[in-house]
Amino acid sequence: MPIAENFTSIFSKEWEINFTQCTPNGLLKYTDLCNMLQLTAGYHSEIGGISFSDMQEFNQAWVLSRMRVEILELPKWRDIVTVKTWIVSLENSRSVRALEMYVNGKKIVGCETFWAVFNTKLRRPEALALPSDHFEKYPDIFSTVERVKKVVIAENNELVGQREVVISDLDIVNHVNNVKYLEWILDLVEPDWILMQELQSFDMNFMKELVFEDDVLIYGSETENSDVFLIEKDEKACFALQLNWK
């Protein structure tokens, strides 16, 4: 679609937290938080003419490579939240996008994401085929204290789970949706740590796509203040997650 008349390089969208998005404590699930952040990024891409539909004319799509989320507090059921986003950098096949979540003008979440342009037929990265110069870049304005980073995998991993990819794990690009990886692992974590809001931040790395009926193993290791998880298929790393606790 053409660039919208109301397009701006810094974009904000309001969301209302509904009960299906909450854990039993009435607070937003971490998975739905990530979905909300990514959907906001998607809306910004849409009004800027580089959405999934626009890119599919060239068999392209944005895929998430890395994501860091820092949480000051979680919104609760019925809260109206505002998510703000802007592009830090965009070159060739790569882009860094910042996002922030606010309630009543107070920042409660910061997020930085690293995206790659992916050819959905060739299943590999390539340069963006669409123009993007109309997006102003903000290389010195960051939304997180720490930048998006590579998760360091420990050598003393233990097998903590395994699963087969099912149809409900897949998204429109026909691979496992990135939030599903987080969901799989949070289901292995002590529930009280989630319900008591002990999670301060987390880093996700997406390294290799998974598709229907893939069998994967989940490994974990822990330190004093963090847990690191690795998802592997055929002994190849597909996803890494670091959970940083208060």
Q: In the numeric block, which tokens belong to residue 130?
A: 């669409």
Q: Which residues pair with 206 in a beta bridge?
A: 239
Question: Does the fold of domain 150-246 match that of domain 1-149?
Answer: yes
Q: In the numeric block, which tokens belong to residue 132?
A: 């993007």
Q: In the numeric block, which tokens belong to residue 146?
A: 């720490």
Q: For residue range 180-222, what is the model confidence (pLDDT) as tens digits? A: 999 999 999 999 999 998 999 999 999 999 999 999 999 999 9
- Show me where the domains of the chain are located: 1-149, 150-246
On the question of pLDDT at 51 being above 80, the answer is yes
Q: For residue range 6-24, what is the model confidence (pLDDT) as tens digits? A: 999 999 999 999 999 999 9
Read off the pLDDT of each residue in 229-237 and give the average, rounded to a whole number. 97
> What CATH number does the domain located at 150-246 have?
3.10.129.10
Assign 176 to helix, strand or coil: strand
The domain at 1-149 falls in which architecture?
Answer: Roll (3.10)
What is d(CA 22, CA 31) in angstroms, rounded to the nearest whole number? 10
Read off the pLDDT of each residue in 174-182 and give the average, rounded to a whole number. 94
Diameter of the chain measured on Cα atoms = 54
pTM: 0.94
What is d(CA 151, CA 136) in angstroms, rounded to the nearest whole number? 29
| Type and span of the H or E element at 158 | strand 158-164
pLDDT number for residue 95: 96
DSSP 210-246: --TT-EEEEEEEE-SSEEEEEEEETTEEEEEEEEEE-
